[in-house]
Structure formats: structure tokens, C-alpha cells
Amino acid sequence: MALRITIDCIACGACQFACPNDAVRGGVRLYSIIGRNCNECRGQFDAPQCVEACPVDCIVPRLLPV
């Protein structure tokens, strides 16, 4: 399951620089995560690097439709 960035994003860019999978894309008002590129850093780190880098804790699990 991939992650997503909420509207609380302040577009600081910390998550984009921290992502080892090139899954984060910058936007004018907020950033977004490309789901097909995001593996939540499994096998690379103990925790998703974007979550660790985010100063406002706006990166959360993406809920899949039931």
C-alpha cells in the first residue's frame, strides 16, 4: 500500500528529497506521492523516509476503496 500527502502539506520539499524511490512529486500548493513508485521504503529502511522527514506529519497511509 502506498502513502498519500494530505492538504496539511506546506510544500517544503523535505519529503521529495528524502524519498529513495523518486515517488514524491512537487506541486504549487502541495506535494503528491506516485503510488506505483512508493513501496513505503520496505526493505530499505525501518520507516518511510518521507514520513520521517515531514515537519508537519501530513503523510498518511492511502486507504484503498472497499
Residues 15-63 pLDDT 10s: 999 999 999 999 888 899 999 999 999 999 999 999 999 999 999 998 7
Integer Cα distance of 31 and 40 in angstroms: 16
Integer Cα distance of 10 and 45 in angstroms: 25
Of the candidates 36, 33, 45, 40, the one whose C-alpha atom is nearest the C-alpha of residue 4 is 33
Give Cα 3 to chain centroid, integer Å: 6
What pTM was estimated for this model as a whole?
A: 0.88
Helices and strands: H and E segment counts in the chain:
2, 4
- Would you say residue 65 has pLDDT above 80? no
